[in-house]
Amino acid sequence: MLLVRSASRLLAAITLSLGTVSLASAADLPTKAPVPVVGASVPLDVHGGFDFTLASNRVTGGGLLLYPNRGVLDQVNVGLGLDIYKDPMGFINLVTVYGGVWNEFWSDPPPGGRVWQEMDWWVGMSTVFAKYWKLDVQHVQFNFPNGIPTAYNYVFTLGYDDSGWGLPFTFNPYVSLFYNAAGGSTVVLGKTGNTYRVTLGVVPTVNMKPIGIPQLTFFFPTSVVVGPSDFWNRNDGTTNLCGTPQTLPCALSNVGFVTTGIQGKYDLTGIIPKRLGNWYVKAAGHYYRITNDALLAAQTPVGTGAVASFAEVKRDIFLATSSVGFSF
């Protein structure tokens, strides 16, 4: 029955996604599909993709644990990009404009609750320069069906492609600034609007071609999230929810959480013709260590309701995902 419900929500999500936003990356998903080659040497200037993911739970980009005991989460992501400038020999090598939409559904909503839980949409522009550097700027909105204020955000990401080093693996370091311009706090107890967090991360990547499996690639995304303490704790007297009595001030901290994980991606090009897109399947496991007391307090009923009291907060969180999708 879960498979049937997931399939039904998948069809509904595709309809909702394509009908709602004309330029179809949740905040925590990739924003640009790779540019494949058509025929012998002609690259596409229009590219995009689709991804359907089943997740055991979710931890947001700010470190907020969501959706306890709600079954499997269905997440649908669609996007489209357009390369508007190319010059492989110049300082600026590629400019792409893009847009996308992401929807999330509960498989087991609470009594009277809605199956659809959240929709995020975004538009942005990425620029590849000096061959190995990429600057990405996007506007992202988080929208909810249950009266939670819409969050208006901007994300600035600078990444480096170290594949030119000739190592058997790459690190792909990046730094990303997430600026919450307006709307409710994206972590419940934080400052509402005009605040930010910074992610410092790497995505070590290893392809299994040396052992005869070029279709299989492993990724090990690892990052730490830091920022002003008021991003997580506005400290205005309404956030004194820590300790056993749940009435004590939560400690102020500039660190939100650290995370690492492993993801395996298998390219299905050898099974599904390339003219139908570059299909893949993925499976991943993620670990989060929540170090910020206000983030932990946000798990209690006053926040997401992930736990019954502060005494039961989850500092160590594990979740799993599996995905199928394609890019072109």
* List of residues 6+ apart from 245 with CB closer than 8 A: none
Burial (0-12, 13-18, 19+ Cβ within 10 Å), 31: buried
Residue 288 CB partners (closer than 8 Å, separation 6+)? 59, 63, 65, 257, 258, 259, 316, 317, 318, 319
| pLDDT tens, per residue, the chain with 328 residues | 433 444 444 444 433 333 433 333 333 434 434 444 434 345 679 999 999 999 999 999 999 999 877 789 999 999 999 999 999 999 999 999 999 999 999 888 877 778 899 999 999 999 999 999 999 999 999 999 878 899 999 999 999 999 999 999 999 999 999 999 999 999 999 999 999 999 999 999 999 999 999 999 999 999 999 999 999 999 999 999 999 889 999 999 999 999 999 999 999 999 999 999 999 999 999 999 999 999 999 999 999 999 999 999 999 999 999 999 999 9
pTM: 0.86
Domain map (residue ranges) of the chain:
2-327
319, amino acid identity: L
Dihedral pair phi/psi, residue 6, rounded to 5°:
-65, -40
CATH topology of domain 2-327: Porin (2.40.160)
pLDDT of residue 145: 84
* CA–CA distance, 168 with 174 (Å, rounded to integer): 19
Rounded CA separation 16/6 (Å)? 15
